[in-house]
């Protein structure tokens, strides 16, 4: 669990905005001190030294988290992407579909 920062605002677009000391990865899970999932990182903007982070909440009443410290959840493993499955090489000796023939 890594400290992300203290929530400063709830924007009318539906994001919790906070100031951070580090740059989180997009789609990282954000939790509170009780490890309850609050949302995910959707945007990082502002100066590199202390960026702002926009969090898309997954909870009801996100306004109650204004002034609270939130954390990045590093415990949970992310699911492998479908791109990694497609990049696997075809087994040697396996039949491959022939390339389409041009007409004309």
At 22-78, the pLDDT tens digits run 999 999 999 999 999 999 999 999 999 999 999 999 999 999 999 999 999 987 655
The answer to whether the CB of 94 falls within 8 A of the CB of 31 is no
pLDDT-based confidence at residue 91 (cuts at 50, 70, 90): low
Handedness of CA 50, 19, 37, 84 (dihedral sign): negative
**3-class DSSP state of 35:** coil
CATH number at residue 27: 2.40.10.230
Looking at residue 4, what is its pLDDT? Answer: 95
Q: Tell if the pTM clears 0.75, that is, is over it.
A: no
Looking at residue 100, what is its pLDDT? Answer: 85
In a domain, 13, yes or no: yes
In a domain, 26, yes or no: yes
In a domain, 71, yes or no: yes
More confident residue, 59 or 98: 59
- Number of structural domains found in the chain: 1
Looking at residue 20, what is its pLDDT? Answer: 94
Q: How far apart are CA 51 and CA 13, in angstroms?
A: 19
Instruction: Domain of residue 32: give its range.
Output: 2-76
In a domain, 23, yes or no: yes
């Amino acid at each position: 669990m890594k400290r992300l920062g203290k929530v400063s605002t709830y924007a009318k677009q539906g994001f919790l905005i906070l100031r951070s000391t580090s740059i989180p990865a997009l789609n990282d899970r954000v939790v509170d001190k009780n490890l309850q999932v609050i949302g995910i990182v959707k945007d990082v903007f502002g100066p590199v030294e202390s960026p702002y982070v926009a969090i898309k909440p997954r909870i009801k009443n996100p306004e109650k988290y204004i002034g609270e410290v939130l954390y990045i959840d590093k415990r949970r493993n992310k699911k492998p992407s479908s791109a990694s499955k497609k990049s696997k090489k075809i087994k040697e000796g396996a039949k491959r579909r022939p390339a389409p023939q041009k007409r004309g």
